[in-house]
Amino acid sequence: MAPRMGGPYADAMISGNFDEHAALVALLRAQPDGLSWPEIAAELLEAGSAVEIWDRHAPAPALIDLPDEITPDSVAEDLRAWQAHGYRLLSILDDDYPVRLRGVQQAPPVIFTLGFVVADDPAVSVVGSREASAAGLTMAADLARALTARHLTVVSGLARGIDTAAHQAALDAGGRTVAIIGTGIGRVYPAENRGLQNEIANRGLVLSQFWPDATARKHTFLMRNATMSGYGLATVVIEAGETSGARAQARMAVEHGRQVILTNQVVTQNPWAQRLVGRPGVHVASSVDDVMRIVEQVVTMWDDLRRLVTP
Amino acid sequence: MTDQEPVSRPDLMLSAIAGGYLRNPVRATQVTCADCLTPVGGYELCFACKGHHAREGLADAIAFLTYAIAGQKSGHVMRGYKAPTPIAEHRQVVALLLLVALENHTRCAEVLARRPVTHWTVVPSLPARSSAHPLRSLVADRAKGIEVPLNAAASVHQPRASNPDHFTCSMRLPKQSHVLVIDDTWATGGHVQSASLSLRKAGATCVSVLVVARWLKEDYGDNKSFIGDLANRDYDPGICPWTSADCP
């Protein structure tokens, strides 16, 4: 299959990538042999090629052309349409795919991005309630500024409340912020954050693991929280209730081997947070300075780990 | 393995970056297999290990550093560390596990065997592959004694069976030799036990086996409830892998 238009895939070097991406999209749509997306991701990492996995599992071609048959050829139009919208598609096998995210078992096999991809992004998630108090919003903004001053990326989920405060403060301070969203990259939720999402796409990165036209559902937000946990070095939870995405993200971060920083207030008010205290990588902080002290230790530890194993 | 010593303590780093998902193997008679620590419903040995016991010359002692559970992060790590493009974080976790085990617990293998470790080896892939084993570079500077290279047979009928012909040892081992055999993942134990048998043929007096991970699948026997019981038992790097308790 040869790309037939300009843009990133026009380069001969990247046309191999086009074939890889078309095979990946066909695999994820057709799910041959009943493969789940996580199973496809695991096979990709072991084989190192989507084309190889497609060839291994592809259904036998129909004798006549079926109009709805999914093949790498049939999805090529979608790849070109996404490209025309400016969406970048990254396979879990691509060099630019976020390196830490690849390390968690829920790593999405495909992501779509708008903005600047940094594979080895030193990032911290700032998450919390959609209905945050004024003090919570202030702490989220102060923390985003402190992370920016330390040249760390502020990751959040573009939701109302804590997320919006963290993204906005990072942008205002001239920092890098990444929005990991619970919809397709062609949509915005909540609608009031359309301007913020565009601003992040222009100056930072918007990342989605769903098909570009996918709408928000309860499970998409949970999946998004797993991606946020995997993407960064640590998750900081500022104000979260009993049934929040932040609570789920804190639990998943422990299961991912990521650091979790809970504010005093979150621990005081939530039995789930009290149960997390004492588990590996879980820290409690009483102030932004406290959070930053812990973040500094985490950054140092990963520098040590890098030296431990030569590539 | 290292170009510079880490500043932080390896056991503390291991706990911080992997304690939430690695799980110390359980040694409990008739709960887990006496050899491979997989869940067994009231038997001493699992079916595969019982099969291996038809042979003389199996490993004298076997240590496991963690369970690796298919579909969970621990399983992801044991595959990702040796993927065609290895996942850096996964190599770091496997390196830390081995670092802690070799530095803190090689002595435990010596106490159990009542003789010092004199040699080490990494179990090669079966059938033979041309590339270096991904485990070798992680242990080469850390393991005690002389390396005993094992060569894998070019083709084998039943790679999961224990058979001394699966590997050949290129050197003759001296009397009183104690070989530490290192492997990454134990599914049926055939590879490791075949390596033990080959080393005996080459003259090894004592064979101790250090396995990074015992592979567990939820959809096998009663594994699901066993795995469920592990959910909140965070990893303790201080537990001795040779005894699953205090050091001997």
Q: What is the pLDDT of residues B224-236, one digit of tens each?
A: 999 999 988 999 9
Instruction: Determine which of B76, B78, B136, B215 to mutate to test the interface with A (most A C-beta atoms within 10 Å).
Output: B76
Predicted confidence at residue A166, as pLDDT, reads 98
Distance of alpha carbon B151 from alpha carbon B167, whole angstroms: 5
What does the pLDDT read at residue A308?
84
CA A43-A44-A45 angle, to 5 degrees, is 90
Looking at residue B202, what DSSP letter applies? T
Residue of A nearest to B82 (CA): A46
Question: Given B80, B90, B234, which is nearest A280 (Cβ)?
Answer: B234
Residues from chain A contacting residue B18 (CB–CB below 8 Å) = 257, 280
| Structure confidence by residue, pLDDT tens digits, A36-81 | 999 999 999 999 999 999 999 987 776 666 667 889 989 999 999 9
Pick the residue from chain A with its C-alpha nearest to B139. A309
Tokens of A25: 């999209």
Residue A110 and residue A228: Cα distance in Å, rounded? Answer: 15
Residues of A in contact with B139 (CB under 8 A): none
Instruction: Report CB contact under 8 Å: A307, B13.
Output: no
Tell me which chain B residue has its CA closest to the CA of residue A98. Answer: B87
* pLDDT tens track for B106-125: 999 999 999 999 999 999 88
Compare CB distances from A257 to B7, B18, B84 and report the shortest one's residue.
B18
Inter-residue contact B85 to B222 (CB < 8 Å): no
Q: What are the pLDDT digits (tens) for B134-193?
A: 999 999 999 999 999 999 988 888 888 888 889 999 899 999 999 999 999 999 999 999
Q: How far is CA B186 from the centre of its chain?
A: 7
Q: Using CB atoms, which residue from A99, A254, A279 is nearest to B88?
A: A99
Residue B3 has pLDDT above 50, yes or no: no
**In this complex, do B16 and A45 lie within 8 Å of one another by their Cβ atoms?**
no
Q: Which of A46, A254, A306 sits opposite B20 (nearest CB)?
A: A254
Q: Residues of chain B whose C-beta is under 8 A from some C-beta in A?
A: 1-4, 6-8, 10, 13, 15-21, 71-73, 75-77, 79-80, 83-85, 87-93, 95-96, 99, 138, 234-235
The shortest CB-CB distance from B83 to any of A46, A308, A311 is to A46
Q: Residue A13: what pLDDT?
A: 46
Q: How distant is the Cα of B32 from the closest Cα of chain A, in angstroms?
A: 24
A148-171 as b/e, with b when 16 or more CB fall inside 10 Å? beeebbbbbbbbebbbbbbbbbbb
Rounded mean pLDDT of B7-14? 88
To the nearest whole angstrom, how far is the Cα of B215 from the nearest Cα of chain A? 16
Of A46, A279, A280, the CB nearest to B79: A46
B95: chain A residues, CB-CB within 8 Å: 308-309
CA atoms lying within 13 Å on the CB side of residue A190: 7
Going by C-alpha positions, the residue among A255, A211, A12, A304 that lies closest to residue B4 is A304
% of residues, chain B, pLDDT over 70: 97
Check B89 against A311: CB less than 8 A apart. no
For B17-67, the pLDDT digits (tens) are 999 999 999 999 999 999 999 999 899 999 999 999 999 999 999 999 999
Yes or no: say if B64 and B186 are a contact pair by the CB < 8 Å rule: yes
Q: What is the CA radius of gyration of chain A?
A: 20
The complex scores an ipTM of 0.92
Whole-prediction pTM: 0.94
User: Residue A69: its pLDDT value, please?
Assistant: 85
Strands (E), chain B: 61-69, 119-122, 146-147, 150-152, 167-169, 178-186, 206-216
Cross-strand partners of A177:
A154
Contact A273, A237 (CB under 8 A): yes
* Contact residues of A toward B, CB < 8 A: 38, 42, 45-48, 93, 99-100, 102-105, 254-257, 259, 279-281, 300-301, 304-311
Helix (H) or strand (E) holding A252: helix A245-256
The residues of chain A scoring below 70 in pLDDT are 1-16, 62-67, 311
Query: Taking CB atoms and an 8 Å cut-off, how many pairs form between chains A and B?
Result: 107
Residue B157: per-residue pLDDT: 83
In a mutagenesis test of the B interface, which of A49, A308, A310 is the best target, namely the one with the most B β-carbons within 10 Å? A308
User: Does position B214 have pLDDT exceeding 90, yes or no?
Assistant: yes
- Select the residue from B73, B85, B215, B232 to test the A interface by mutation, using most A Cβ atoms within 10 A: B73
- Report yes or no: A250 and A275 within 8 Å, Cβ to Cβ: no
